[in-house]
Amino acid sequence: MTYPYLHQNVSDASFANVLLYVNNITDGFLGFGILIAVFFIMFIAQKQYTTERALTGSLFSIAILTPFLRILGLLSTTMFWLIIVTAGLAIIYLVWEQSHEN
């Protein structure tokens, strides 16, 4: 059985509305999927550095992207704060690791 098209107002198909529609279809996981993809791309791109620096750099990159996805409504508030806190902890760990390296 085919399902009816859920979004009837096709004339207002701006980029933000298309993103919100896709987020609605995926039950709110579009923003999280975008962040996971950006995280892995940034982590692999930064593998010339140590693992701690690559991890912190990629977490910082998605922490910068997170407010924009939250403003668009593609990310929940809980996920927003979870990513911000995780990036902060990664930065603290990197500073701690570098101070104990000597």
Q: Please check whether residue 22 lies inside any domain of the structure.
A: no
Q: Is the pLDDT of residue 1 over 80?
A: no
CB neighbour list of residue 29: distance below 8 Å, 6 or more residues apart: 23
Out of 8-17, 40-49, 59-68, 89-98, least confident range: 8-17
First-residue to last-residue Cα distance in the chain: 66
Range of 75's domain?
27-99
pTM as predicted: 0.77
pLDDT top residue among 47 and 14: 47
- Whether the predicted pLDDT of 102 surpasses 70: no
pLDDT, position 42:
94
Q: What is the pLDDT of residues 49-87, one digit of tens each?
A: 988 899 999 999 999 999 999 998 888 899 999 999 999
- Residue 72 domain-assigned? yes
Residue pair 35/83 in contact (Cβ under 8 Å)? The answer is yes
User: Does 16 fall in a domain?
Assistant: no
pLDDT tens digits for 27-56?
A: 888 889 999 999 999 999 998 998 889 999
Q: How many domains does the chain have?
A: 1
